[in-house]
Chains A and B, each alone.
Chain A
Amino acid sequence: MVRVSPILREVLAHIFKKPATQKYPEVKPKVPSGFRGKQIFNISLCIGCGLCARDCPAKAIEMVNVEGKMRPLFHLDRCIFCYQCAESCPRGAIASSEIFELASASKSNLVVKPKEESADGGGQ
């Protein structure tokens, strides 16, 4: 005799269960701490050594001249979010945030500029 497959009861029970999917974008997922999202650059700690740009696997960091000192500029469209830059930085000037909605219609939005005042440069 054919043994009854356990899927029969399982499927019926699921009609009454809450769905496992979320109604994004009304409900947004919570990401844990330590998530590798958009970079936050603390310009007061930077010493301009350039180790971050040298170690970046995707060549996404460009050292630019900001008021006479060399500071990194992050190109988010090339970045692979590996955070080797944060590891290589001897002063810990690069940190991660929990921002992951980075899609943009223009490339000029996809940079993190080394600015004096705000922590997350010219992002969304």
Chain B
Amino acid sequence: MFSIVHKEEIAPKFHRFVVEAPEIARKHRPGQFVMVLADESGERIPLTIAASDADAGTITLVVQEIGKTTMAMGLLTVGTKLASVVGPLGTPTHIERFGTVVCIGGGAGIAPLLPIAAGLKQAGNRVLSILGGRSQDLVILRAEVEAASDEIFYTTDDGSFGRKGLVTHALADLIKERGRPDLVVAIGPAVMMKAVAEMTRPNAIPTLASLNSIMVDGTGMCGACRVAVDGQTKFVCVDGPEFDAHKVDFDLLIKRLRMYLPEEQTARERFLASHTCRATAGVSDG
């Protein structure tokens, strides 16, 4: 159980894992996530399920190397068993025929957006996708999202691919040119989701955001992931991860995501120190 059956680097520091998890694959619905513990002394981290194959009994996870845990995952090889994969957790996305839906994905948020865009398209919606990243390399899963969309638009911070700028610039133009969509789904960094929410608020365009808060168990037990939605405290792991973006207190979310920054730094430096030594040793051997 939880063997890595396929792994590839789909962009610099982005890895796609296909993991054996038949029960999770069978139950997965778009919008849900798993808690992953790579090894026994590791940390439990939430990862959104990018795809699932019930027949093959596998789920697909896309991991961006950011901290110690994700960097260590980048070194895992096919055949390795993850210590724990639990799920599918969270409330699935409510999918129905809304009409025209704009799906916005930024950075690592493109991976969880993919099954939602695919689900919305399958339900008969006209799906217009906007994908953004710092540069062309980092706009991941373009072919997959394109296949799940009627039209697709790209933005990059450096202008290396698509339009230079932010996803909100593309969204503003889209609303201006095509009129008010029936739904906007935004998944990406908290600042991006906040900016999208501010843009759709004046026209009251229904907007969903999928929140990425810190979690420990992922089953409603610890409350680490709590956020304020419409002034009420909610747990992202069981009440979410998707919420009405106009009601989310993004400033609180952004602050709470910084909780363990010093410790994340310590762990990352420790990891890099131990692995740089090994890499150097490897070079001298060769």
Q: Do A and B come from one complex?
A: no
Residues of B within 8 A of A (CB): none
Taking beta carbons and an 8 Å cutoff, which residues of A are in contact with B?
A: none
